[in-house]
Structure 1
Amino acid sequence: MSALRFSLRETPPQRLDLSALIPERLADLEMAEILRLSVTTTRQPLCVGDVFTVHPGKADEVVIAGGSAWFDEVGAGMTRGTLSVEGEVGARAGRGMQGGRLLVRGDAGVFAASGMRGGEIEIGGNVGAFLAAPGPGERLGMAGGLVVVRGNAGARAGDRLRRGVIVIEGDTGDEPASRMLAGTLIVCGQAGARAGYLMRRGTLVAARAAPLPTFVPTGSADQVFRALLARAIAAVSPDAAALLGETLARFGGDVATLGKGEMFIRVGQIAATG
């Protein structure tokens, strides 16, 4: 049996909350019940049947055909199965995920993977600011799982990261790995200004970066650590695995705070802080 498929009829008239379209929520519902699920966020009441044509299929594999920057909360709270979006999504994609796999073939908005605790997210395009960061009023960011971004990321990627692995195959905005507590952030391109700002623990790997003055050189990178990490992520990101195999310089910091974090930068690509 094929996947349960939601085909977008036309551009939505307002922002939509698509958190209900996850495998565990849909598994026990009849078609009539699925069509009545609310996707309302703002101006007027809307249900699934108002926005999508639904094609029956296996609920453990859900496909949303057609994307929109107004598709918020896609994959939020997901614990199992697979959810694929054939296009872009809006804010908070994969928020609070605990398991399963979310595949976005386009761009994603702000706060993707916020509060994530498990599972996998792959974003085929770019992602907005605050990737895997805590939401307003929250203390901790992502606490487990794997996130791979094929494009660029906005500012504050990995803010207050607690656990898990984030791979960004492009560049980042300012302050990647800010206030990091643990976990790993890999940037295959240029890490933005003030990388690792107020980092306490954790690991930031970047092809190009300008360490803050509060990061101190500590010699060459640990080859055993790099080899193990490269092996673990090679299947999902050959670019990141290749970066880990290069000659990297190691910096410790941020000594303006606890200072037990580490930053690895490709030798010859270490810029001076402006």
Structure 2
Amino acid sequence: MSTLTLRQAPPERLDLSGLTPARLAGLSEAEAARLPIGTSRRGLVLGDCFALSLDGTEDLRIVGGSDRLDRVGAGLARGTVVVEGDVGQRLGEGMTGGAIRVSGAAGPFAGTAAKGGTIAVAGDAGASAGGALHGAMGGLDGATLVIGGRAGERLGDRMRAGLIVAEAAGDHAGARMIAGTIVAGAVGDHPGYGMRRGTLLVERHGALLPTFVETGTQDLVFLRLLAKALEPVSARFAGLARARLARRSGDLATLGKGELLTPLG
């Protein structure tokens, strides 16, 4: 496994989008050390901030995290990126395969536009995890995003496909969803605001929009399949998918083909 060890706290935000295992595998340590990662006029390169140990494999470990490490794993197609610590914004942006594991917290927009692969964040995640960047047409687009802690507001904003699992989330979870599935414990007010399609499965929630209407209970085959998919991620949430659930349809202010599922009682 190749290793990048952070020498000290970064003096500015760093763009690590070019540091996929496949990219580093074809470089010597001297060549990799010259890769630009700075975002200011300082012109920082990889060797300025990290000690490098490259072995040519498709596994990369980053030791010593920081909320200034942006776009970690962006564009990842295969292999594994493991971060020991925190990361900044846009974790795994646009990835199509492989796996990213973060032992700490992640900044805003984790998993944005990710089409494949798995992203696992052990700690909290910032606003719009799995959501669309400002001006973008969609957020998470087929990947799996697992957040062990609390996600911020607008979890899965404009999500197009895929699965998000979070321990908890702030207000407007699933806002403007186009499709996909979000499973969470407690979420804040107005989940599903403006959602067109998709599924929100939550244990409990804050205030609901009046544009969600009760549709009773249904025995949905989709939920059995979802429970199976959740088993390796969370036995608790797999059990939630198998429970008797109340269903609300919405957001009727838009297309209204989304659904909010919560335990009965």
Q: TM over 0.5: same fold?
A: yes
Matches within 5 A, 1:3-42: 3-42=1-40
Task: Please report the RMSD computed on the Cα atoms of aligned residues, expressed in angstroms.
Answer: 1.2
Residue in structure 2 matching 1:243, options 240, 243, 258? 240
CA contact (8 A) 2:73 2:92 kept: yes
Partner of 1:100: 98
CA offset digits 1:100-154 (Å, max 9, x no partner): 1011110000011111111110001000001111112211121111010000100
Quote the Cα distance in structure 1 between the aligned partners of 2:135 and 2:143: 22
CA contact (8 A) 2:177 2:195 kept: yes
CA contact (8 A) 1:96 1:114 kept: yes
Shift, 1:43, TM fit: 4.3
Quote the Cα distance in structure 2 between the aligned partners of 1:244 and 1:58: 42
Partner of 1:219: 216
Partner of 1:183: 180
Give secondary structure in 1 for the equivalent of 2:109. Answer: coil
Residue in structure 1 matching 2:43, options 42, 45, 69? 45
CA contact (8 A) 1:16 1:70 kept: yes
**What TM-score, normalized to structure 1?**
0.93
CA offset digits 1:204-225 (Å, max 9, x no partner): 0000024321111111143432
Structure 2 residues not aligned, in runs of 5+:
none
User: Identity percentage over the alignment?
Assistant: 48
Partner of 2:201: 205
Quote the Cα distance in structure 1 between the aligned partners of 2:18 and 2:144: 22
CA contact (8 A) 2:16 2:70 kept: yes
CA contact (8 A) 2:200 2:259 kept: yes
Is 2:131 the counterpart of 1:123? no
Is 2:233 the counterpart of 1:233? no
Quote the Cα distance in structure 2 between the aligned partners of 1:78 and 1:240: 28
Give secondary structure in 2 for the equivalent of 1:219. Answer: coil
Give secondary structure in 2 for the equivalent of 1:150. Answer: strand
CA contact (8 A) 1:221 1:264 kept: no
